[in-house]
Structure formats: structure tokens, C-alpha cells
Amino acid sequence: MKFQKTLSIFFITLAFSNLAFTSPAYARIKLVTLPDRENTMVRLDNPQATLVEEERILNLHKGINKVDFSWKAVHVDSDSIRLKIIQHPKDTRLINVSYPPNSQSLVWDIYSPEARQEKIRISYLLANIDRLVSYEAITDKEETKLDISSYMILRNFSGESLGPARFQLDYGEGFEKSINDGESKRMLFYQANQVKISKSFTFDAGKHPWEPNKQQTNVGIPIHYVLENNKNNQLGKHALWGGKMRIYQNDGHDGSIFLGEDKPAYTPINQKMKLYVGDSRDVVVTQRKTHHERKNIKRNRNNQIILHDKVETMQVTIENFKEGSDHQYH
């Protein structure tokens, strides 16, 4: 896919016959044809901003060349634009950068000691282009293992279509893709099967009502799956990015049901990922304070209490109404 109109990082190379300090009115002598973009690299490793690096070959003339870079209707952060001379870094020199009024463009003055080709690399931050990660996971009936598929979603609303470009993540080789302006693409990223999970039920006395039977609606006890980003789980090669994970369960009838979804946090290697799946209404926790007493009261000279111990007795009843259980714990 060729480079299209907009990021008309549009280059006009102008050369001057003499370094005319004497002649302030530069005359345009030669207009060089627009060079194609080569080796475009899109770095998606920073979730805050996307860095684009592209290489171009300029046909420079002897003397000062004016190279015009413009980004009309493209979300380029103008403060981030950098130019690097690659082929002859010692004697091809960037002399000056100027910003024409009222336009999204700049002009580089590049000095070359002779007429020759020069490879340059331009880097800039491009906004409104990023990647998301999403996951689809399916657990077995016993809820001990999870098969995870991870998807990468590229979203490009930057104003610029990117022809075959190398997308680089924070690890690995990256991949080559084209993506048009205004387009979103979902791609299968990686899969990990039979990832061990543990399931937990959490009652938080600071959050949940103590007497669920006095509530108008059922008080659910949150259920979490916990998995570890390690090699034993076919993971552990890189950090797992945060992203929406939809969790299904094998229903034992060649199909599945949807259990719930969560957006886990960024999970480094060997760290645990915790997924809030749903609420259990078959587990009921009731908490009561049955005794309260102040002990070891210390007073100051004015007979005011300055210290005391508080002794409280709690009774917590956990009822499990799940099938096959007949238990009640205190």
C-alpha cells in the first residue's frame, strides 16, 4: 500500500546554487520528486503515545537543501518531530528548522558538501492511533483451567493511512500490517491453553452489608479467578497487558455459557492476574457483633479517659447453599 495523500509528509527538497548570505531572496532552483517512505516502524509500547519512525532517501544537492515536512489534518505532535541523518552523519548537517506561519509544517535546512543521496530517519509522535488488547477465555466445567486467546486491536484515527508498516510492541519481533485511516483491526495475538486458575469468594466486611437478609435484593459474594503469568501456564514470556477479558465456560453440551468479563490490570511476568467474574448468591455471609467492652481504662489527672482497650466479639455465619453442600460455619 502506498503512501497516501494526507501525511503528505510531503517533501520538497530545494537546493541553492550558492550559500548566498548575500542574497536574502532565495530562488528555488530545483524541486526534487517526493521520495517514498521506506521502513516505517510504529512503536506501540507506550500506551500514552505512539511513536512513528520512517526512513526516506533524499536526493541532496551541494549546499543547503530545504526540506519541507507538512502534516495537514494528521495528528502529529509538532514538538516531537526529530530528524536523524543516517548515511553521512559526519558531514550532512541539519542546520536550521523553521516553522512557516499558520501551517502544520516545518522546513529543515540540510547542508550537504556534495550532491548525493542521503538516508534520513524522521521520528514523531502520532496521536489517535493505538492498540488495545482483548481476551477471550474459556474454562472447563470444574473451573480449574482456562484456555486464553488474546487479540490485538489496532485503531487508526490519526488522519494518516499506514501502508505496510512494522508494528513494534514492547517485546518480540513485532508484525507487519497495513491500516487505513479510520480503520480498526482485530487480530489474533497469541493463545495459551490449560492455564491453571484458582477460584475465590471474597466477603469484605467493610463493603458488604452484615445482614444480607435485611436487604431488598440478594447480596452477591464476588468470585475471582486468579492465574499466574508464568512459563508453566504457557505464559510468562512477556507482561500481559490490561484489556477486557470475556470468560466463558464449557457447558458440557458441546457449547458454552458466558460467565462474565473483567478488565485485569497490567500483569508482569510471574505476577498474578485477578479476574472478577461475577457474584455468587449461593454463599451467604452474615456478621454480627455480639459483645463489646472497654478494658484497661487509663485516666489523666483530670479523670478523663486517655487510653482504653476495646474488646469486641464477632459472630460470622457462612452459609453455602451450593448443590451438594450442607454446611454452615460459624
Restricted to residues 127-166, the positions that interact with another protein (CB under 8 A) are 127-130, 132, 134, 136, 139, 141, 143, 153, 155, 157, 164
Nearer Cβ to another protein (109/140): 140
156 grid coordinates: 487508526
The interface region with another protein, picked from 14-22, 165-173, 226-234, 284-292 by CB under 8 A, is 284-292
**Nearest CA among 63, 55, 64, 115 for reference residue 85:** 55
In whole angstroms, give the CA distance from residue 224 to residue 206: 18
The interface region with another protein, picked from 100-108, 111-119, 166-174, 299-307 by CB under 8 A, is 299-307
In the complex, minimum distance from the CB of residue 303 to another protein, in angstroms, rounded to a whole number: 6
Total residues in contact with another protein, by rule CB under 8 A: 73
In whole angstroms, give the CA distance from residue 248 to residue 242: 18
Beta strand extents in 11-72 (DSSP E only): 13-15, 30-32, 37-43, 50-60, 63-70
According to DSSP, the β-strands at 82-85 and 116-126 are: antiparallel
101 binds another protein, rule: CB under 8 A: no
Cβ-based neighbour number of residue 124 at 10 Å? 22
Near another protein by CB under 8 A: residue from 28, 231, 274, 281: 281
55 to 94: interface string for another protein, x by CB under 8 A: ----------------------------------------
In whole angstroms, give the CA distance from residue 65 to residue 94: 10
In the complex, minimum distance from the CB of residue 192 to another protein, in angstroms, rounded to a whole number: 15
In this structure, are residues 92 and 35 in contact, taking their beta carbons and an 8 Å threshold?
no
The interface region with another protein, picked from 6-14, 92-100, 102-110, 280-288 by CB under 8 A, is 280-288
DSSP 159-181: S--EEEEEEE-SSS--EEEEE-T
79 grid coordinates: 514538538
User: Per CB under 8 A, which of residues 233..262 are in contact with another protein?
Assistant: 244, 246, 249, 251, 254-262
User: Per CB under 8 A, which of residues 173..202 are in contact with another protein?
Assistant: 178, 180-188
User: Per CB under 8 A, which of residues 209..228 are in contact with another protein?
Assistant: 213-214, 216-218, 220, 222-223
